[in-house]
Amino acid sequence: MSKITFIGAGSTVFAKNVLGDCMATPALQGFELALYDIDSRRLSDSENMLLNLKRSSGSTCEIKAYTDRKEALRGAKYVINAIQVGGYDPCTITDFEIPKKYGLRQTIADTVGIGGIFRNLRTIPVMLDFAADIREVCPDALFMNYTNPMAVLTNVMNTYGGVRTVGLCHSVQVCVPHLFEHLGIEQEGLQAKIAGINHMAWLLEVTKDGKDLYPEIKRRAAEKQKEPHNDMVRYEIMQKFGYYNTESSEHTAEYHPYFIKRNYPELIDRFQIPLDEYPRRCVEQIERWEHMREEMVNNRNLEHERSHEYASYIIEAIETNIPYKIGGNVMNTGLITNLPREACVEVPCLVDRSGIQPTFIGDLPPQLAALNRTNINTQLLTIEAAITRKKEHIYHAAMLDPHTAAELSMDDIVNMCNELIAAHGKWLPEYH
């Protein structure tokens, strides 16, 4: 029996989407769906939810929960990762509140920036533990990473973990539909090309019947900018740099030095930037789960329609050899020629029985590559810090972050990092 292992299976809603998709896929019937999580209650919730879904759907997949991670992984052909190390309390709170003391405000803080750096530092050691188990008990498995910070963690698993890894993110899938729906442009028959880095990939071209749609996109976007809306940051980046990027405006605002600035507080209102957005979402999700739990976990008539998540489509393409195209996060083996080779990039990939096959992009427009490199700098220094366990590289990563550097002095950055290191305590390994 082939095996799909889901690490972080206590994310019950996401497990329903991803593993429910597998259960709804004819080619994946008979697979064992192995569930693992360190939270026994959430693990049990997800097991019960999937058993109900199995009954109601008639799937022949086997659902099995494990309390031993290595046994959950043993013999797996595919591994899906959706963990969050440290959770909302205490780690997310720490990532927001300490920088706030220094005057550094954030929106999501899960990719780059000071929050992204420390999320990486507490997650990388856990991921490398996964990698050691995978090399021992399922060395040929394909590791599909959904955990943020996507670029760094996918890079680490490939470069230092010795595990065949692809990073999967929703932002490429929803980029064009979101943009066209907001602008009121018909979406049928489009051809689009997206590439860059995770959360800062670029809609490089979008055409219909060979006609470039960018002039009309920019015309309509300029009209939209006359009134407040929730995508103002991305439209501003498109107007100034020429191209639309994949991740939402609340994310994008903190990837650049232009939007969240103490000396220009009017920018927050002008660009509709939701400060402290991620903690707010966490609180809402925790409250919502208490209401959803009974309906989802103990509903014997639970139903599921296959979602747009990539995982089941990737597995189906490999198992059937019927090609499928994804936007994947992979190592830059010369794929984007004006970004560093040691970076993780997000490019179109073909999937079939041969696995994940990234496509060659060539040079990005120079201004886009330059923007990407500002984030890659922090990503690579964060990896250096995690691998060497040297504090100086944590400081370097933070000092090179565009938003952090635009707001704080070098001394304040070092002091803030030291305070964050101390506050994380057991969530971080020892740095020297």
Active site residues: 170
Rg (CA), the chain: 21
For residue 1, give both structure tokens.
Answer: 């029996």
216, HSE (Cβ side, Cα atoms, 13 Å): 13
**Residue 138 backbone phi and psi in degrees, to 5:** -155, 60
Q: CA 123, 386, 383, 326: dihedral to nearest 10 degrees?
A: -20
Integer CA distances (angstroms), 51 to 14, 33, 62, 356, in order: 15, 11, 9, 31
For residue 190, give both structure tokens.
Answer: 């489009």
> Would you say how long the chain is, in residues?
432
Cβ 152 vs Cβ 382: under 8 Å: yes
Kindly state the DSSP code that residue 160 receives in the 8-state scheme: T
**Residue 401 backbone phi and psi in degrees, to 5:** -70, 130
For residue 149, give both structure tokens.
Answer: 């910070």
DSSP secondary structure, 68-112, as one string: -HHHHHTT-SEEEE---SSIIIIIIHHHHHHHHHTT---S--SSS
205 forms beta bridges with: 193
- How many Cβ atoms from other residues are within 10 Å of residue 85's Cβ? 18
Cis peptide before 90 (omega within 30 of 0): yes
Smallest CA-to-CA distance from 193 within 181, 175, 209 is with 175
Calpha distance 106→279 (Å, rounded): 10
Kindly state the DSSP code that residue 350 receives in the 8-state scheme: E
